[in-house]
Amino acid sequence: MGSTNQIAYLESGNPEGFPIVFLHGNSFSKEIFSRQLTSEGLQQFRMLAMDMPGHGDSTRAADPKQTYSYAGFASEVLDFLEQKKIERCVVAGWSLGGQVALELINRSPRVAGVFAFGAPPAPNGALGLFRSMRFSRMLLLAGKPQFTREDAIYFEKAALGEYANGEFVEVLLSADPEMRQALSRSLLMPRGASQRERFENSSIPVCLLHGRNEELIRTPYMESLTSPMLAGGNTIIFENAGHAPFLEQEEMFNLLLSQFCNSVAEGSELVTPVEEWQFARAA
């Protein structure tokens, strides 16, 4: 049975190209990827950016407890891929969207690669959360039911750094208040395989990006991650970026995404470290 939630999305690029599906962060919306959707270097791909349930222009979840979790959002993405007749794609996710992308590892042949940024593949439970993330106001707000305007302004700034200009304040305020609370609770509930286990046992290529100046995620944790299917052999560190490398290092990010998607589409080797996968470290 398909989802009863109505999903809003943006589409650009080559309708016949290899698909990239973009997933936004907690309480943000599809418009966060405008610089990717309009990038000349990515126009060869079929690009779709969706609003997950409870976000942006999509409907609020009919069943919040079931939908507002990593697994629930992942099921919504798979339903979306089926509706759009996408047989094979890369899912590129930021922050919450990155966690949902990691949740999709080995779940469906429709997901041929995962490109995650601002999202640590962590062990389950509270211990896993705090091993991979820093305790911060941003983390607390990620689980707060109702944002004040002050909360929204702070959250946008913490997530986007110097690229925060108020554009997403109303979007953040309009997100379903039940979503953040339900999502936060779901992280502490018993689950199956952890995202770290999914990542370490992945049968598809995975690329992890991380900003050295990240406020939310622990850099040593990201640097410690290994998997036979990790593109380049290591997490790619953006030295001059924080939580939003797709904005802070836009040109480099888009180039890496293009390289990754072309390799996944062609079935090329991505695991062995190669020079072009290392240049992000010097930026």
> What would the pLDDT profile of 163-199 be if each residue is shown by its tens digit?
999 999 999 999 999 999 999 999 988 778 899 999 9
How far, in Å, are 18, 35, 38, 56, 241 from residue 42 at the CA level?
A: 10, 10, 8, 24, 21
Q: Can you tell me which residue has the tokens 């379903």?
A: 176
pLDDT tens for each residue of 18-64: 999 999 999 999 999 999 999 999 999 999 999 999 999 999 999 99
Quick one: pLDDT at residue 280? 45
Does the reported pTM lie above 0.85? yes
Quick one: pLDDT at residue 1? 41
Q: Can you tell me which residue has the tokens 């809003």?
A: 8
d(CA 221, CA 137): 20
Q: Output helix, strand, coil percentages for the chain, rounded to the nearest 5.
A: 45, 15, 40
Q: Quote the crossing angle between the two packed helices 96-103 and 70-83, to the nearest 10°.
A: 70
Assess contact for 219 and 243: CB atoms under 8 A.
no
Q: Is the pLDDT of residue 275 over 80?
A: no
Q: Check residue 230 and report its DSSP letter.
A: B
